Chain A
């Protein structure tokens, strides 16, 4: 085991490997600052790793407590407003209306906030796709909706992140539907690979598609130096499938405990470092560890100029849902750089458990209408996402901040 300690299985062999870079000042880019302490939590996270290590069987210890009654359908007719800083709202509504879903469906509850923050450019994108795909379940008579939540944190420009937002769910849907059995890891890896090549194609024949308002000049070679993180959670009635590539992160709150469902891809993560070096690349410390001294993450969608050192392959974790699950938080490093997992989880939890929403209807501003729309559960998720965002800003996050909070509690009706 010791022999491979600098390599493949960080999670289990290197609980003490957190890297604490010294330089803290003036980091505008996604860098240092990262307390890779997540690693110690890995046992709980039950990571499903592709590269086989011994311990990972843990992953199959299941808490299979399905509560058929709890799946009762909340009223479908109301497409709630999501009052957040997100242009996704309308899409969400349209999407839900458009799908001819069975009425028996767990209606997803979520809150989204995405702000530019202290950066001058917005490079984050968020994708919320309720019931983006349904798969007939052998065990049940209805088709059950799969919901997708994605956070994409672009670098170089926003267009790769935007492309992920537009296309990722559609690609994943196709990949899911093209398979007979649920092969999550394979499905997601294939999806990310396709996403990556679509981004590459787009850049290659960029002339056709210059409509989006990029600040980079699409026709130039430096377009190659554009990429995005991707953390995507597919929530099914039974499972939470998180696929991650880059340094955005998904954290599950289970019974009050913060369980990271992804491990950031930083160039100094021992297994990533080894992979990069074996591919002939180098990690150079230049304002934190960077691949070839440039990119401060070891995996990303796009970034053709750093291939094969920077790869688009996601690490996929499949977690069985448990009645103890409270919420799932997906966010860009604008949040995680300044708010630890545990804090984020406890803030989100308090918002979800608040009898009345943290910003009362009479709170200042023009939000009275929204507060009064009666959809308290979504309001709670929104409150959670917004409070986390404000907390990140309060703690001097100098990046874009994007936060998605998904309520995982089953309605005990």
Chain B
């Protein structure tokens, strides 16, 4: 436990050995993200930070994202299904999930939206030839690189979506259809001898192969998420990256809270009380 406390000031580390579920880790990750957010906001507001210290903060925050995906990948090995239908997410988030997480191309919408807000806010300065230093100030080269990355990411995203589709369809492959039939027959035939045991084994191995497929696709989806995040940050200057990471954390944390709140309200309203 002491180890936990100590690590919480820097990084949430990994799962507590033997006792922590991913859900528990996720809660700590949210707290870490909230702390990172405060640091990022502080740096964004300050004029005195050196480029180097800004870059260090960006690195640290990115390190936390890497760590999050490392732990997630470990957990997926044990239970890909659970990771794909995460109980620690609200229904709201759940509805917007793409293969167990945020859709990678959303990073570009996030960037364009935040950049747009800062552009409109700083338009007068920008037109006067002044630099605003934030995301409103994306250069031609940066925009070109973002655009290229965007197209590339959408392509990869589509490929994975196809992969997932193909894998989902295997739920009705011959072996599964045959197995489900055999099991049904057994249930009705009342035959509960040796046959059942071997059938159970067959069911298990069939399901394991399905889960392995899911784990693989989830792994690739998470890779794409982290890769996209890193590449976007690489294109940005350190201070722009700070603004981007602020927007990302704000959106993630607040949507999570709104979802939670909504879920709580929904639960409340199933009780026989008034609904407004």
Contacts and interface: CB of A to CB of B under 8 A. Distances in A.
Contacts of B142: 364-367
Interface string A73-87: 000000000011110
Contacts of B44: none
Dominant SS at the A interface? loop
B49 to A, nearest CB: 14
Interface stretch (B108-116, B176-184, B214-222): B108-116
Contact of B150 (A113, A116, A363, A365): A116
A386 B127 contact: no
A175 B246 CA distance: 55
A395 B120 CA distance: 9
A2 interface: no
Interface stretch (B63-71, B75-83, B235-243, B255-263): B235-243
B139 A115 contact: no
B205 to A, nearest CB: 38
A354 interface: yes
A360 B119 contact: no
B140 A85 contact: yes
Contacts of B235: 365
Interface stretch (A117-125, A183-191, A222-230): A117-125
Interface in B114-163: 115-117, 119-120, 123, 126-131, 133, 136-144, 146-148, 150-151, 154
B105 interface: yes
A347 B127 contact: yes
A409 B112 CA distance: 32
Nearest to A122: B151
B112 A118 contact: yes
A367 B115 contact: no
A367 B123 CA distance: 20
Contact of A364 (B123, B147, B148, B239): B239
A84 B136 CA distance: 17
Nearest to B239: A364
Contacts of A120: 105, 154
Interface string B76-100: 0000000000000000000000000
Interface string A369-410: 011000000000011001101110111100000000000000
Nearest to B126: A358
A193 interface: no
Interface in A96-118: 113-118
A390 to B, nearest CB: 5
A315 B236 CA distance: 43
Nearest to A371: B139
A122 B155 CA distance: 11
Contacts of B128: 354, 358
A370 B116 contact: no
Contacts of A66: none
A347 B236 CA distance: 24
Contacts of B139: 359, 363-367, 370-371, 386
Interface of A: 83-86, 113-118, 120-122, 347, 350-351, 354-360, 362-367, 370-371, 382-383, 386-387, 389-391, 393-396
Given A116-B151, A391-B119, 13 more contacts: A83-B140, A83-B144, A115-B143, A116-B150, A357-B129, A358-B126, A358-B129, A365-B240, A382-B140, A393-B112, A393-B115, A394-B115, A394-B116
